[in-house]
Structure 1
Amino acid sequence: MAGTQRRGGGLTALAAYVGGALGPLGGGMVAPLLPDMATSLHTTRSGVAASLTVYLVVFAAVQLVSGTLGERWGRRNTVRAAYLAYAAATLFCAIVPSLGLLLAGRALQGAANAFTTPLLIAGLVELVPAERLSRAIGTFASWQAAGLSLAPLVGGLFGEVSWRLAFVVVAVLAALLAFLPPPGGAQRAAPPRLRSLLSRRLALLSVAAFASFAGSNGLPFLVALYAHDRLGAGPAQAGGLIVGFGLAGIVLGPIWGGVAGRIGARRAAALGALAVAPLVAAVGLVDTRIELVLLWTAAGATASLLTVALQRLTLDAVPSNRGGGVSVASALRFTGSAMAPLFWLPIYQRHHQAGFLAAGVVVLAVLPCVALLRDPAPPRRD
């Protein structure tokens, strides 16, 4: 059966990687479109900007149950339906005449995306050989980073014609991906239950996921603010100074997957946390733009290792409900990113160095979490 599922799986695996980029792409592409959207919908930029928050909040919240429901209904059929729902919600956003309807459409986008990302990661188990699984997870992470990093560019390019066109293009991509869902039928004998997620291992990995994003991946806003306040950078310049964080993740994701496969994901996660924490803390000490670029890009490289390693560990956290386990950890990951401004901005405003130092300390919370894990099996080697 496994061989049959993996035959021709190269194209399906590629579709899974593209699907990993779809959520961040659709979520973040509105950033450069805000002025045009506000004018078109006769509202304020702040009102339209709320569509970013709505998308992420719903996405994170629904992931608490989406993976388990998807495994119960059947991974393949669930992802196909979610892609079609995402396409419909995105087309709805393209034609809305008012802010209220836009926010409703963005909420539907976030909910649909919650049923794709965790199930795509879980589906990699059946799409690639076991010895290549860690590398595949790293590749998936790099596509996610690409979607996040390129979203403003893609939105801006299509926005030159019309902001509505940007939504139409993403909707078409989602509809095409529905033809290549991941393998996995409905599990009728013993359907996954939410109760299976109440495990010590998943709890530790969820805390680690929250800490990793709250202390590193959720900090671009703070680094951009530092570049403006301390280094005199304008908005466009600040964006250019911090882009290396995401680019490092795009390039190094597959490599880090191989590293996690060779040395073990627990050890890779610990090394990533030990490297990320001092790099983040040191951002508040830089005096030049080149120092900021080098330091923040290095932080992005090591944060990518941490993310890939934690995702690999999470995939085995609940073997009977892989999608459910991945979705819960992902929900905590994005919650950490969403909470970062609330945590660090007040500290930064009192003392800029203390804000980055506190964020770095939070990343170190990953260490006791992975130290307390018990390996279910020896690490696979890529």
Structure 2
Amino acid sequence: MSGSPGAVRRAGLYAGAYLGPFGGGIAVAMLPELGGTFGVSPGAASASLTAYMLPFALVMLASGTLGERWGRSRTVVVGYLVYAAATVGCLLAPTWETFLVARAGQGVANAFTTPLLLAALAGAVEPSRLGRALGWFGSLQSAGQTSAPLVGGLAAEVDWRLAFVVLGVVALVLAVIGVPTEGNTGEARPRPTLRSAWRPDVVRAGVVAAIGFGCLGGLGFLVALRLQDAFALDAGPRGLALTGLGIAGILTARLIGGGVDRLGPRRCVVIGALTGAVLLVGVGLAPAVWLVVACWTLAGVPSQLILVGVNTLVLGSGGGNAGGAVSVVQALRFVGSSATPAAVPPIYHADPLAGFLVPAALLAVVVPVALPRARPGAADPDRP
């Protein structure tokens, strides 16, 4: 029955997928307004993004395992309540420093919800449909990331606090809804350890996620530089062009999830890496703006192939600590995206084409090599 508590909770899983990246990116378009409120420059106000993302990525190295120990449902509900409390802290912050502390609280709370939502989703669907479910999850994450600057900017036209009111209310609603329970097998579950999350196969999947996310979605800034340097494109059109990757990911994630179920996650990750490498070379070589934009937009498809494929591979391979494993992979994914803006620009400034060829080579060569094989005795998601 579509209105049953189980169906509502499952819908809550997808809503939680949207909330995380939406809350992280909500401040992107309101930096001048934040700066004006707290008496800092727009440049200094960008610290509100780091204050959210850095604790989020660091805490996720262990948050999934801790959440599995405490219980997924309980941890996610508490995480939403802490998120709502931190959001109130943002609304009422008397100083800039207090606001940053509250943003860090949002990031920490999100670190305890995102990986456990993925694990709960994997436990709530049939293994044969896991890719489809994760495709939906990934599309809503992309939607949250893509829509956050727009919604934040519109709210800031009136009062930036309105966006945070919405965040707080949604977090409270999701806390009331909760998540599907882990099931009741009648057996005592072993206490998850960090070692069970930091398995070699999980770390290798995390390396793949770091390269895939860093060398595709994380290269938006480099595409913007090329559009400016090679074609003198203004800021507005550049921003519009960059949204193509996210929109393509949103529109195709559901289809990609079905493909992962049919072909297997490893094959889809390899296909995504090779296709993404070709499109990156196209972005670097394209002689016209429309062709650069077309290649970048199409890159949203291999980006989702890698993301959904890696998540399916980790969550579908067993191991007894699904939340901890996917938490490690997601943390390494964000480490990769954080490293790209520091590592790639020097290459680009030395040789603009090399700025795209090097990430393309990492995708084409390192991803297929680093991709983990099935563990002995474990289920292989690439086999029916």
**CA–CA distance in 2 between the matches of 1:136 and 1:368?**
27
**CA–CA distance in 2 between the matches of 1:287 and 1:90?**
46
**CA–CA distance in 1 between the matches of 2:60 and 2:309?**
20
Matched, 1:337 2:337: yes
Matched, 1:76 2:78: no
* Paired letter, 1:174: A
**CA–CA distance in 1 between the matches of 2:44 and 2:152?**
18
1:352 aligned partner? 352
1:170 deviation in Å?
Answer: 0.9
* Paired letter, 1:286: A
Matched, 1:228 2:225: no
* Paired letter, 1:247: I
**CA–CA distance in 2 between the matches of 1:159 and 1:325?**
38
Matched, 1:67 2:98: no
**CA–CA distance in 2 between the matches of 1:372 and 1:379?**
10
Structure 2 gaps of 5+ residues are none
1:128 deviation in Å?
Answer: 2.1
1:113 deviation in Å?
Answer: 0.2
- The answer to whether the 8 Å contact 1:90/1:109 transfers is yes
Task: Tell which deviates more after alignment, 78-87 or 158-167.
Answer: 158-167
Q: Deviations over 1:27-76 (max 9, x none)?
A: 11111100011011001112110111121111000001100000100000
1:181 deviation in Å?
Answer: 2.1
- The answer to whether the 8 Å contact 2:119/2:323 transfers is yes
- The answer to whether the 8 Å contact 2:63/2:324 transfers is yes
- The answer to whether the 8 Å contact 2:206/2:329 transfers is yes
2:155 aligned partner? 158
2:361 aligned partner? 361
Matched, 1:282 2:271: no
Mark the CA change 1:381 to 1:255 in structure 2 (over 3 Å): closer, same or farther: farther
1:122 aligned partner? 119
1:189-338 equivalent positions in 2, closer than 5 A: 189-338=189-338
Task: Report sequence identity in percent.
Answer: 42
Matched, 1:17 2:19: no
- The answer to whether the 8 Å contact 2:266/2:382 transfers is no
* Paired letter, 1:133: L
1:180 aligned partner? 177
* Paired letter, 1:54: A
TM-score normalized with structure 1 length: 0.94
1:285 deviation in Å?
Answer: 1.2
* Paired letter, 1:252: T
- The answer to whether the 8 Å contact 1:204/1:370 transfers is yes
Task: Tell which deviates more after alignment, 128-137 or 82-91.
Answer: 128-137
**CA–CA distance in 1 between the matches of 2:349 and 2:152?**
32
* Paired letter, 1:281: V
Q: Deviations over 1:138-173 (max 9, x none)?
A: 100000000000010111121121011111111111
Structure 1 gaps of 5+ residues are none
Does the residue aligned with 2:30 lie in a helix, a strand or coil?
helix
1:377 to 366, 373, 379: 379
**CA–CA distance in 1 between the matches of 2:317 and 2:272?**
19
Task: Tell which deviates more after alignment, 280-289 or 348-357.
Answer: 280-289
Q: Deviations over 1:267-288 (max 9, x none)?
A: 1111111111121122111222
**CA–CA distance in 1 between the matches of 2:126 and 2:189?**
25
1:244 deviation in Å?
Answer: 0.8
2:32 to 18, 30, 35: 35
TM-score normalized with structure 2 length: 0.94
- The answer to whether the 8 Å contact 2:216/2:303 transfers is yes
1:247 deviation in Å?
Answer: 0.5
1:131 deviation in Å?
Answer: 2.5
Does the residue aligned with 1:352 lie in a helix, a strand or coil?
coil
**CA–CA distance in 1 between the matches of 2:182 and 2:301?**
36
Q: Deviations over 1:109-160 (max 9, x none)?
A: 1100000100000001232233222100110000000000001011112112
- The answer to whether the 8 Å contact 2:10/2:180 transfers is no
1:380 deviation in Å?
Answer: 7.4
* Paired letter, 2:321: N
Mark the CA change 1:290 to 1:311 in structure 2 (over 3 Å): closer, same or farther: same
* Paired letter, 2:58: A
**CA–CA distance in 2 between the matches of 1:85 and 1:47?**
26
**CA–CA distance in 2 between the matches of 1:381 and 1:139?**
22
1:106 aligned partner? 103
Aligned residues: 378
